[in-house]
């Protein structure tokens, strides 16, 4: 069973790498949009394999659905089909920076605790307190809900304000457009 | 064991679809490859849930299928009309 998890992880990562390479090599914009859809499906599957189901959910909704539609809208508004070939200098500098950044990140990962280690600092700081005390303090049986709605209440309020503002912006844009059409 | 075999078979299918999406040659090959790839992702998630004995994520896999459907609709509309804001042909317009 460990072997099959290993296999799924590495196959999906290999697919992700192949897709990213093809996206970076193509100059046809529609093909890039299609491949970005595949890329985010693969990312979402990897997030589920890593037990981050909520992140995977967002990735699937935003990456596969919304951003594909957004890219297609941009393509249909600009009418361009191919990436404009720019006279670039040799890609050595960009490649060097990318490899240096990747190496720095790999070195950084070595300091991190093992995946799902119960003794990791993140699991020892306030998490045991929430798990043992939240039911008696907040009186909500679900710990995640009490963390989001009470312990991190101001944070959640800020997020709600951001989403509310975005909603007002979208409504203002769409309502303005239909009003203009009615006048015509 | 059967579930693992099915999972591996679907991963092989994903590889074949990726090749189709990479080499094309027509646009419709790519659209079909992406749409099918979404279905394969749903199947992988469902089977992976059962292989790891936690089939709780099955409903999330179904929502993936819905998202994928909306994206495919948008792509096809883009190709039919070249514009996502097109309202399509209304039956009333034909009468007038």
Domain span including residue A1: 1-81
Give how many domains chain B has, as a whole number: 1
Q: Which residues of B touch A55 (CB under 8 A)?
A: none
Identify which of A146, A60, A6 has the alpha carbon closest to the alpha carbon of residue B69.
A60
Q: How many domains, chain A?
A: 1
Residue B46: domain span? 2-87
CA distance B88 to chain A (A): 16
- CB contacts of B41 in chain A (<8 Å) are 41-42, 44-45
Q: So what's the pLDDT on residue B85?
A: 66
Mind listing the pLDDT tens digit for each residue in B43-61? 888 888 888 877 777 777 7
Average pLDDT of B62-69?
Answer: 79
pTM: 0.74
DSSP, residue by residue, B46-87:
HHHHHHTT-GGGHHHHHHHHHHHHHHHHHHHHHHHHS-TT--
Within a domain: residue A3? Answer: yes
pLDDT at A166: 92
On whether residue A126 sits in a domain, the answer given is: no
- Exposure string for A82-109, b = 16+ CB within 10 A, e = fewer: eeeeeeeeeeeeeeeeeeeeeeeeeeee
Contact B38 A34 (CB under 8 A): no
pLDDT tens digits along A128-158: 888 888 888 888 888 888 888 888 889 999 9
Identify the weakest region by mean pLDDT among A58-62, A79-83, B76-80: A79-83
Name the pLDDT band for A161 (thresholds 50, 70, 90). Answer: very high
Contact list in A for residue B4 (CB cut-off 8 A) is 4
Residue A183 placed within a domain: no
In the three-class reduction of DSSP (H, G, I as helix; E, B as strand; rest coil), residue A82 is classed as: strand
Tell me the pLDDT band of A184, cut-offs 50, 70 and 90: very low
Distance CA A24, CA A1 (A): 35
Of B89, B65, B66, the closest CA to residue B77 belongs to: B89
Domain contains B42: yes
**Burial bucket for residue B2 (CB in 10 Å: 0-12, 13-18, 19+):** exposed
Q: What is d(CA A63, CA B41) in angstroms, rounded to the nearest whole number?
A: 14
A37 near B35, Cβ under 8 Å?
no
What confidence score (pLDDT) does residue A176 get?
A: 60
């Amino acid at each position: 069973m460990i072997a099959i998890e290993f296999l799924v992880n590495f196959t999906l990562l290999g697919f992700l790498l192949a897709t990213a390479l093809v996206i970076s090599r193509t100059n046809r914009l529609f093909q890039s949009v299609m491949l970005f859809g595949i890329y985010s499906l693969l990312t979402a599957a990897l997030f589920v394999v890593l037990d981050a189901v909520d992140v995977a959910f967002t990735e699937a909704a935003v990456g596969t659905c919304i951003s594909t539609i957004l890219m297609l809208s941009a393509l249909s508004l600009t009418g361009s089909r191919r990436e404009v070939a720019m006279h670039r200098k040799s890609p050595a500098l960009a490649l060097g920076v990318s490899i240096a950044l990747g190496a720095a990140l790999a070195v950084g990962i070595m300091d991190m605790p093992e995946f799902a280690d119960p003794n990791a600092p993140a699991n020892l700081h306030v998490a045991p307190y929430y798990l043992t005390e939240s039911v008696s303090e907040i009186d909500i049986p679900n710990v995640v809900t009490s963390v989001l709605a009470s312990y991190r209440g101001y944070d959640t309020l800020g997020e709600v304000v951001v989403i509310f503002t975005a909603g007002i912006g979208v409504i203002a844009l769409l309502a303005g457009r239909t009003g203009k059409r009615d006048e015509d | 064991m059967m579930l693992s075999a099915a999972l591996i078979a679907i991963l092989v299918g994903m590889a074949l679809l990726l090749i189709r999406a990479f080499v094309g040659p027509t646009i419709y090959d790519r659209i079909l490859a992406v749409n099918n790839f979404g279905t394969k992702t749903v199947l992988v998630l469902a089977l992976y849930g059962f292989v790891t004995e936690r089939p709780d994520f099955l409903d999330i896999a179904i929502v993936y299928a819905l998202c994928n459907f909306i994206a495919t609709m948008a792509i096809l509309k883009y190709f039919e009309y070249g514009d996502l804001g097109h309202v399509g042909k209304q039956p009333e317009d034909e009468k007038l």
